Each structure stands twice: as C-alpha cells, then as structure tokens.
Structure 1
Amino acid sequence: MVGTRDRSDQHGGRRRCLVGIGCLFVLCAGELSAREPLPTLVPPASEGSAFRVSEVLAEIDEAQNADTSPLDKPWWLSHTTELIRADATPFVAGVDDLLQLTLEYSAQVRVYGYVPRIRETAVAESLAAFDWSKFIDSVWQDTSEPVGSALTLGGAGNRFRDHNLRVDAGLRRRLEAGGTFELYQRFGHQNNNSRFFVPNDQGTARLVLGYTQPLLRGRGHVYNRSLIVLADIDVATSTDEYRRQLQSHLLEVAKGYWGLYLERANLAQKIRLYLATRKIVDELEDRQLIDAQRTQALSARAALESRRSDLVRARAALKNAETRLRSLINAPDFVGDPESLEIIPRDHPTVEDFRFDLDTEFATAVTTRPEIAAALKEIKSACVRRDMAVHEMLPQLNLVTETYVAGLRGSSRVGEAWLDQFRAGEPSYSVGLQYDVPLGRRAASARRSRRDQELAQMRERYRSTLELVRAEVEVAVREVHTAYRELRAKHQAQLAAQREADTLEIRWRSLANPDSTGSLLLESLLRAQERVTANEYEFAKAQLTYNLALINLRHANGTLLEWAPHSSEPILTSNISHLPPVDDQPSNGGGPQSTTKLPPIK
C-alpha cells in the first residue's frame, strides 16, 4: 500500500509539472502572438501534385502527334450490316439516302416549308393595294317637307314632295406614285310638285373624272411600295428560317443514323462478351469434377446471366434508335409494322484525319449561314420602316382635280341625257389643294424615334449573330480536331484492354487450380472482359463523335444544304470537297490527308 501511494504521488507530481509547463507555454504563446502574427504554415506539396499543367499537356500532344500508325478496322463493322430479325425485310441505306428521303417525305420538313409559302401571300396582298376596283353607288331619296315659302312650290299646296334616284358606276385605283384615280358615270331621275322644276321627270347623266395627287406626305413610288418591299423581305427572311430549321432537322437525322450504327455495334459487342462468358461457363462446368471449384462456376454463371440481361436492353435500344429514325423521316416504306422492316446502315464511319482553317470556315459561314442572311434582311427591313417614318413627318398637301361632262332631258329620257353629255356644251372642271398637319406632330415623332431604336437594335443583333456564328464555327473546328485525337486515344485504350484480357485468359487457363488463386484469376478475367467491351463501346462512340463533328462543321458553316440559283428547292450536298484543308501535307495520323475529296456526310 505504501509503495502504491508513493507511485501515485510520483505520477501526480509529474502531471502537475506537465500542467505547469503547458500553462507557461500558453502564456508565452499569447504574449508572442500579441506582439507579432505567427507565420502561416503551408503544408509541403505531395509528390503526386508537383507538376505543371502546360508541360504535361505538351508531353501528351507530342506523343499523340508522333503516333502515325493507321487505325485498325473494328471487328464489329461486318456485324453492323447484318440482318438481326430473320423475319424482317432489310432496308439498306446510307446517310445521304436517309437525308434525301427526309427531304421528300418528312412531315416536319413540310411544316417548315409552309412558312415561306404563307408569307408569300402577304406580297400579293401588298400588290393588291394598286389593283383596279369597280364600284356602284345608288341612292333613292323621297322627300316630303312642309312649305315655308310660296316660291318653293309656286302655287297651292303646303308640302314639298320630291323623288330623286341617283346611280354611280365606275372604276377607281390607287397609283404607285401615291395618287388616286377615279372615273364613274352617274345617272339620275328626279321629279317633284314644284312649278319651277322644269322640265319635270328629269333624266340626268354625268361622266366624272377625278384625280388626287399627294405633293408631300404619301407621294412617290419609294414610299408607296414600301409595304411590298417589306413583304418581300419578310418572305426572304422566312426562307432563311426555313433553311435553318431544315438543316437542323437533317442534322438530327444524321445523328439518328449514327446512333443506330452505335446501337448495332453495341449489340454486337455485348453478344461477343456474352459468348466469351458462356464459353468460360461451359469449360468450368466440364472441369467441375476435375479441378474447378463450385464457387468459380457460380461466379461465372452470375456474370453470364448479367450479360444476358444486358442483351435485352441492347436490343431494345436498337429498336428505339430505329423508331427515332422513322419518326424523323416519315418515308412510306417505314409505315406499318415496325417489326417487318429493319433499317441497316450501309455507310461506315470514317477514321481519316481532316484539318480545317478557322478563318476559311468562318468566311464560308458569313456567306452561307441563314442566320446571318436573316439578320441582314432584318436590318434592311428596319431601314425601310425608318424611311417610312421619316417620310410621314411631312405635312399632308394634296392636289385635287376633277372634270366632268353632263346632260339633262325631261320626260325621263335618261338615254338622251347620256348622249347630250358628249354632244352639247363643254366640260366643267375644278382644281384645289388640301393641307393638313398635326400640331406638334407627336405621333409621327414617336414613330420615327421607335424606328430609330429598332434599327439600332437590329444592327446590334447582327453583331451578336456574327459573334455567335464565329463561336459555333470555332467550336466545330476544334471539335473535329479534338474528336479525332480522342478517337485515337480510345483506340489505344481498346487495344490495351484487349491485351490485358488476353494475358489474363492465358494465365487463367495455364494456372487454373482449385485454390483461391484460380478464383482471383477468374474474377480478374471477367472484369477484364467487361473492360474490353466498355472500351470497344467507347471507341465506337468516339467514331460516332468524330463523324458527327464533321457533319456539325458543315452545319456550322452553313453548307449542309445548298440552294440552286433561282430555285427554292434545297440540294443535298453529298460531300464537303469545297472545304479545303489547311495545307496539302498529310496530317499526323490515320493515313494521308485528302486535298480533293473529303468524306461524305457521315
């Protein structure tokens, strides 16, 4: 007990000593921190994070540029053109074939095509403002008024009764110079109970020619044809919009085509994986009584069933890709039972390396992109509206002229009166001016200010469109280069994964034994096979991405479709040979670079 108490006293003394030292250290540290701040301690960089991004990327670029080996033809190419459903009718088609069918039969394309036709009716409507119009005006007036003067009737009676019929028939037209022309023939018949109305039962005729010409506001061909010009610009703008929508739709069809190719390749890859796994399962079941463990057979069987289920999803994805293509194209061959027809892609993706110059592609886009053409037309339309607003600031000053010949006969002889207007007397005429101007002209000033703002807005929109198009072209050119580099990288990854799987399979077959080593080798082999299939899919997807990048570049520079001169019908361009490479030297990979023929739309 004494020894224990002594040891506890010793430990207590030590603890009190340590506590005292700690308190002293805290007090000293507080005093030092009050005098000056402690330096910040930065942990040293680990060995894995000590690198420079630019140096690593330069090293990778150098390695990729040095790799000029041709890309191997994928083994699944032949399987992508096989008939999968034995009872289905094959429909073999390339990208151009499907795009042409889309132009001919797609309901959505027809929807887009109706817009310019609808807008064209506005042009005819504007032109109709200068058409001749015929008119007939007739008035029957029966008057019965009390008489307030003896001179009204000239005799007995207390009511004045008058019967008057007037009929006008003629033509009028608004001229492009702004004037209004009117020619009409008037016939009349009148009788009453006045003694001073001589002769009674009067038949009258009058041929009138009138013309009114604006001298300030409303004059001139330019102003009066402005609505026609605006309608023409609107039709041209709608045509540009139709071209934009059509190219976007065709781009979706191309994506659908390559999506179908990818799903068929994916199905072939998963079938190959399934067959390889089934082969392993069969071998393990045959060797189960010799040297294979039951756990190995069960593990392989589980992998087989999992890969069998993947085939179900892959087949459904393939049918979904076909359905999407059918909905975009709407060809008569695609109507009916979807199981009776199978779309088989004929074109294979290209793996050639093509280089494009950004400035050249942007220059092409400036002249061919419908968005830029539409923006220019909007500026032109805004200029026309502004000129109209400036013109409408003028006061209204009209020259009004009229001349006529007239004839009159009694006893209701209207025909004789009509002849007298040509053979008796001389023409009458009148000339005058009309002037009108709003005080302050606030409405006209507001319209002009609005048109000025709209014009400035259209100019800024044009600048914005140019920048957006340049950005799209820049991204498209970069994406072509990037997609090809990714394609080569995915190809190398696929080869590496295949070599790993082959090595593991050789080791498993040569070193297979019932202990844990064999089970580990089997698990590694099954995972390696999955990695091979995954890398094969990534390589096929990289092929798809590269070919879509080529098509998207044509969409970005506006050359996916071309229009023949004086024609509204689109022409499908089946190749991009008008897009020259940067130089005539071969590129750094995938074979020689073509200078005269670039890949078709794929």
Structure 2
Amino acid sequence: MSTRNRKSLFSLLTLSLLFAQAAPLRAQETARFAGSMFAGQQTTQQPAPSSNNPPAQTGAPAQGPQTASPTQSQTQQSTNPAAPAQGQQPAQPAVPPTAPPDTNLPAPQAPAQTAPAQPQPGAPGGQVQSPVGPSAPGRESVPTSPDAQLNVPQVAPDFKADEAAPFPALERVGVDMGEQRALSVQEVIALALENNKDIEVARQNVRAAEFDLQAARGVYDPRFQTNSYYERTEQPAASFLSGSSTGAVTQSGFFSNSSVQGLTPKYGGGYRLDFVNNRVTTNNQFAALNPQYPTSLTFSYTQPLLRGLGFDQSRRSIEIAKKNLSLTDAQFRQRAVETITNVQRAYWDLVYALRNLQIQREAVRDARKQLEHNKRLVGEGMLAPIDVVAAEAQISGFEQSVYSALDDVNRAENNLKNLVAENREAPIWGVAIVPSESVELAPPQVALDDAMQYALKSRPELLSSDVAREINEIEQRFAREQTRPQVDLVASYGMVGLAGASNATASNPLAASSVDTRNRINQLIGIVNEQFPGSNLLPIPEPAVATIPGQLIGGEGQSLANLATNRFTNFRVGVTVNLPFRNSTAKAQLGRTLVDKERIHTQREQLEQLIQVDVRNALQQVKTAESRLRAAASARAASEQQYASEQRKLDAGQSTVFLVLERQTQLATARGNELRAQTELNKAIAEFQRATGNALEQNRVEIRVR
C-alpha cells in the first residue's frame, strides 16, 4: 500500500471515529427535543432536567427510601432517547411535531396512541402519588447515597493554578552545587565514628566509667586528718588535794592531734596511726612540770576474721566498676555497629535518590523526543493534533516526578549529613555529597548455622548480658559474705613522751604530814628501847628528797626525743564480736541476688532467641532482595524492548500514542524499580552485617579498649 493510500485510510478511520463520538450527542439532542414537544401532555409528572429522582411509578407501592441510582426507565431512555419512560406514556398530540427550523435533526415520530393512565383518587391535578408507608424492616436508618453518608462540603471548587505564573528558581537549599565532595562508604563511616553525636555520647560514657573505676580504687588511698586548737579551762576546786590555792584550777594550752588511716587492699583490714603533740600550762601547785609537753604515737590495726575477710564493700565496688567499664565498652561497640548500619542505609538512600533523579530526567528527555516525533507525524498527517497535547502532558507529568525526586535527594543528603556532621556549623552542610562507592555489592554466601554461631559470639548485646551476669556473681559473693558473723581482731601499740620545765613552787601535800608522823614514830621507838633494853629497834630514817629525772626536763624537742627512744610504751590486743540474731537483711539481699540470677538467665535465653530471629530475617532479606534485583533487571530489559517495539508500531501506524506513552511510563518505573532493588540489596547486606555482629570487621573498623 502506498503512502497516499495509507494517509487516505487513516483519514477515513479518523472521520469514522469522530462520527461515532458525535452519534450519542445527536441522540441526546433528539431526546431533549422530543421531551419538549410532549411536555404538558403526559399523565405523570416529569422530573426536572437537573434532577436525578425518577418519576413515581403508577400504582406501584414505595420500595423503601429512594436512591440516586437510575431506574430502569432512565436506563432505557439513555439507551434509546426517543422511547418514552415506562409509566410516562404521553397522550396523542393534536398536531404532529415538527423539527425546529434552525436544526437539521429529523422530526421525531409520534408515539402510538395509548389510553391515558387513570389517576389515583385524591391526587391533585391528576398526578400519580406513591403511597407513603413504613419502610422495610432493617432499612430505616440506611443512607441512600454516598453524599448522604459522607456529607462532605465542597472546598475550593473548580480550583485551577495559574498556568502563566513563572517557575520558581529550582535549586538545592543551602547547598552549593559547584562545590561537590566525593565520599565512599568507608569515608562516610569514618566521619560518623568521629563526629556522630551518639558515638560521642557513648565515648563519654566510657570515660565516665573509667573515672568511676578510678574513684572506686581510691578507697585504699590513705587519709590524713589533723585537729589543732587552743583551749583554756577553769574548774572549781572541790578537794584539798586539788592543788589550787585560789579555789579554782586553771589549765590552758595548745593541742594538736593528727592521724593517718586507711584500708589494706587484701583481707579487708584497716589501720590507723595517731600522733598527739600538746603544750599545757596550769596553776596546780602540785604539778612538778609547768609548762609540760606530752606527746604520743599510737598505731592500731583491725583485721576481720569472718565477715569481710574474703570479700568486703571496697573490693565489691572496685569489681563492679570494672564490669561497668566492660559494659560501657560493649555498649560503645553496639552503638558503633548501629551507627555504621544507619550510615550505610543513609548512604544507599542517597545513591538511590540521585540515580532516581537521573532516571526521571532521562524520562523527561525521552518524553521530549516523543513530542518531537509526534509533531513530525502530525505534520505528515499520520497523527491528530491532540496527540501532541498528550505528549506535552506526559512531559509535564515527568517534570513533576523530577521535582519530587529532587526533594528526595535533598532529604536523603540531609539525613546522611546529620549522621556525619560535627555540628550545625560544619562545612559539609553546604557541600553536595557525591557517592563514589560501587553500587553492585556481592551478597554474602553463608549458611544459617554459621551465621548464627558467629552472631552468638560477636553480638554486643550478648557481651552486655555476660557483663550483667558477672556483676550478679559479684553481688552474690558479697551477699553471702554479709550473712557471716563479724569477728574482728583489734591490736594497738603506742609510745609516749613527756618533758617540761621544773616547777619551783610545787609542793608535795603529803610531805609535811609524813615528817611529823616519822618523828613521832621515832620517839615511840626510843621509849620502847629505854623500857625494854635489848629490843634495839631502829628509828625510821629520813627519806631522800624527791627529784625530777633529767630526761623529763626540757621543751617540746625533749618530749619528742623521749618519744623516739620508745622508753614509755603501751600495748593492747583484743577481739570484737558483732553477731545479729537473725540477720534478716543480709539473707534477703542474698535471696534478691539469686532471683536476679534467674532473671538474667531468662533474659539471656530470650535475647538469643531474638538474635536468631534477627539473623534469619536478615539472611532471608538478603536472598529475597537478590531475587528481586534479578526480577527487576528482567522487567527493565523487557520494558526497554516493549517501548522500542511500541515506537516501531506507531511509526508503522499499528499503535497509538497512548500505548507509546504508557510504555514510556512503564520503562521509567522499571528503571527506578531496578535501582531500588539494588540499593535494597545493599541495605540488606548492611543489615545482615549488623545481625551477625561483624559490621566492624567487614568495614575495617577497630575499637581499642584501654
């Protein structure tokens, strides 16, 4: 067939299509004209042209509430506009109707003569009235139309945007497209581990746990304490031997008490060293040294024999602090794994968003090519001008997809920047990130049992569970120790020193009375010797004068020297017993730790089960994503072939523009689905790394524990 014959055949088909579309319009116009001719001559009331309510059936009872659906007569009327509705038979007109002079429509045929319908009694104007009766049971409150059910008001009717308004400036908000930064997955992960706020908080938690351990060990640091003061006291004399001639004994001086005490790291013992250095002045006339300098040095040690010997509160605090440090290390490792997974997801989301933007732009480009192709076919007479409008509408639809894809790019990039930026002032916020990682990642080939065993060995959550179990063991050990009786060995050893100035005014209150007594006794001895010769009793000799030892004469230095010579010492050894009768508190605490042990064991089993579910789902997700990728690739290849074939059919006159545009849309969707399947596979691989606990090893991240 020649080109001219094909054009003629195509023009004939186009005209036939136009006439076929115009036939219903002519039929409707004929029906309206016939209705106007028969108006006022029908025995039943005709509905208004704008009303959807059907006319009442003659002599028919009401069948429930009326609905907005068309009746059988309306259906017939829409099929054959010239046929009158059932129950609305018009009477024979006096003059046959004719067509209006300004139309080319044929005159409608007069309907057959029929007997007029008998009006119901009581109906005004001879109109048929439907009897009013109760509705069918169960249908009284049922709405009759969607409008009655929803009752939605009209909002912004006939809204249309301004087509002539200029397009706003299409740009990335806050991003300089001229400044781009290519980043791989490893580089993004490194930035996140360095700057991410969650990682920084976890790192600070580790440092806080280190200080907690240091504080717990500080319980063994020796503690020095000193107490120095001046004191003056005045006590009333209540005895002749008080040594006061004024009725009150006055004493003043400087007092200094210093001590060093601490705990031993093993066996729960405690030590204390006390040093006393005073200077005392008094008005007591019996004081041989005034002022005097008493000094002393005492060492005491307390050693538990039962409770606290093997394990005490100090060692408990240190061991728990160590475990808490291990716990924060495990939590830091878990936070690092979660951050790595989130960064990988955000990275592949950005890859998909950028690639999807490119696909949508390619769709716009292909649509514009199709527009030019349609224009050429219209110029050749093979397409109607409306096909150009269809291609332009396709371009507008794809342009909307471009704008949506651009918004997705902005959101995905901001999400990734939020994970890697140091703060809101970081320079990376104004840079366009360009992913440089290869999209095609090899899925892991591992069996379920191997993946499960690795997960049970490497998941940070299980490490945290192990630390919790070890802390509970420490609590059990301490609680059992507290149920034992407390028996402590107490020992002390002390040295005393003294020196002072000799008191010249000091007197011995017994010295004068002892001289008189000795003289009287000697007189009696003389009388006895005279009365009884041969008795030969010896008189009491005069006692020697008491003197102060020379080593006690001196000042503070002499007192310290006497202390250092260890001439005056004291020693004490004893046992202290503290035995509660029931010790209910310690027993209850031990029971609590045993219950915690069972709880931790149950939680461990639950955690292992959840990890098993996690590994199973992650491995299945990888395999499913891989299968979806293969299917999406096949669908994309088929869509490309269908689109190319549909274009060739259109050129040959065997297809329509609608089908070509439909194939074009399907191709754009298939390309996006293929990329989505690839990025979903990459995210599934990242999720599998997290589930098995090897995200750090797979991404070459090393965590150093100090």
Calculate the TM-score normalised by the size of structure 2: 0.64
| Structure 1 residues 298-313: aligned runs within 5 Å | 298-313=389-404
**1:282 & 1:437 partners in 2: Cα distance?**
102
Q: Which residue of 2 aligns with 1:171?
A: 260
Equivalence for 2:222: 132
Matching of residue 452 in structure 1 with residue 594 in structure 2: yes
Equivalent-residue separation in structure 2 for 1:497 and 1:563 (angstroms): 37
1:526 is matched with: 661
Matched, 1:94 2:236: no
Corresponding letter in the other structure for 1:488: R
Determine the structure 2 residue equivalent to 1:53.
Answer: none
Matches within 5 A, 1:176-215: 176=265, 177-215=267-305
Equivalent-residue separation in structure 2 for 1:165 and 1:87 (angstroms): 82
- Deviation of 1:307 (Å): 1.1
Match of 1:197, SS state, is: coil
Q: Contact between 2:296 and 2:563, CA under 8 Å: does it hold in 1?
A: yes
Counterpart among 172, 195, 202 of residue 105 in structure 1: 195
Aligned partner of 1:466 in structure 2 is 608
Sort the Cα spacing of 1:467 and 1:410 in 2 relative to 1 into closer, same or farther, 3 A: same
Distance 2:234 2:484 in 1: 48
SS of structure 1 residue aligned to 2:228: strand
User: What is the DSSP-based 3-state SS (H/G/I as helix, E as strand, rest coil) of the residue aligned with 1:134?
Assistant: strand
Measured against aligned partners, the alpha-carbon deviations of 1:31-54 in whole angstroms (never above 9, x if no partner) come to: xxxxxxxxxxxxxxxxxxxxxxxx
Amino acid at match of 2:689: R
C-alpha separation between the residues in 2 aligned to 1:219 and 1:490? Answer: 71
1:390 alignment partner AA: R
Residues 124-157 of structure 1, C-alpha deviation per residue, up to 9 Å, x if partnerless?
111110112222122433222333222223x533
Percent of counterpart pairs with the same letter? Answer: 20
Does residue 536 of structure 1 match 2:671?
yes
Report the residue type matching 2:249 in the other structure: F
Give the C-alpha shift of residue 89 in structure 1.
2.9
SS at match of 1:210: strand
**AA at the equivalent of 2:494:** Y
2:467 matched to which residue of 1?
377
Kindly report which structure 2 residues correspond to 1:207-246, keeping only aligned pairs within 5 A, or say none: 207-220=297-310, 224-246=314-336
Taking the aligned partners of 1:332 and 1:192, their CA distance within structure 2 comes to 74
CA 1:431–1:536 in 2, change beyond 3 Å: closer, same or farther? same
SS at match of 1:348: coil
Structure number with higher helix proportion: 1
Report the CA distance shift for 1:390/1:320 in structure 2 as closer, same or farther (over 3 A).
same
CA distance in structure 2 between the aligned counterparts of 1:181 and 1:351, rounded to whole angstroms: 66
Alignment partner of 1:549 is 2:684: yes
- Contact 1:181–1:211 (CA under 8 A) maintained in structure 2: yes
Shift in Å, 1:489? 1.5
Deviations 1:545-593 (A, max 9, x none): 11221222111111111499xx8439xxxxxxxxxxxxxxxxxxxxxxx
**Separation (CA, whole Å) in 2 of partners of 1:188 and 1:323:** 75
Which residue does 2:233 correspond to in 1? 143
Task: Give 3-state SS (helix, strand or coil) of 1:511's partner.
Answer: coil
Q: 1:257 aligns with which of 347, 353, 357?
A: 347
Question: In the alignment, which of 482, 485, 502 is matched to residue 624 of structure 2?
Answer: 482
1:321 and 1:502 map into 2 onto residues whose CA distance is 33
How large is the RMSD of aligned CA atoms in angstroms?
Answer: 2.5
C-alpha contact 1:217 1:394 (8 A) present in aligned 2: yes
Q: Partner residue of 2:384? A: 293
Distance 1:494-1:375 versus aligned 2 partners, 3 A rule: same
Residue 267 of structure 1 corresponds to 357
Structure 2 distance, partners of 1:354, 1:135, is 66
- Give 1:323's aligned residue: 414
Deviation at 1:334, TM superposition (A): 9.5
Query: TM-score by structure 1 length?
Result: 0.74
* Kept in 1: contact 2:281–2:291 (CA 8 A): yes
Structure 1 position 483, deviation (Å): 1.2
The residue aligned with 1:159 is: 248
Deviates more, 1:344-353 or 1:112-121: 344-353
CA contact (8 A) 2:417 2:428 kept: no
CA distance in 2 between partners of 1:448 and 1:239 (Å) = 28
* Change in 2 beyond 3 A, CA 1:156/1:462: same
Asked whether 1:335 is paired with 2:477, we answer: no
Cα distance, 1:407 vs structure 2: 1.2
Distance 2:184 2:357 in 1: 20
Larger radius of gyration: 2
Aligned residue for 2:446?
A: 356
Question: Comparing both chains, which one has the higher relative contact order based on Cα–Cα distances under 8 Å and sequence gaps of 6 or more?
Answer: 1
> Do structure 1's residue 120 and structure 2's residue 210 form an aligned pair?
yes
Q: Gapped runs of 5+ residues in structure 1?
A: 1-84, 513-517, 571-602
Counterpart in the other structure of 1:443: 585
Tell me, yes or no, if the aligned pair for 1:563 and 1:569 is still in contact at 8 Å. no
374-383 or 456-465, larger mean C-alpha shift: 456-465
| 2:558 aligns with one of 411, 416, 420 | 416
Query: What SS does the corresponding residue of 1:219 show, helix, strand or coil?
Result: coil
User: What count of residue pairs does the alignment treat as equivalent?
Assistant: 475
- Structure-2 separation of matches of 1:496 and 1:94: 32
Per-residue deviation at 1:171? 2.1
Measured at CA, do residues 206 and 256 of structure 1 come closer, stay the same or move farther in structure 2, by a change above 3 Å? Answer: same
CA distance in 2, matches of 1:268, 1:506: 26
Structure 2 gap ranges (5+): 1-174, 502-553
CA contact (8 A) 1:126 1:231 kept: yes
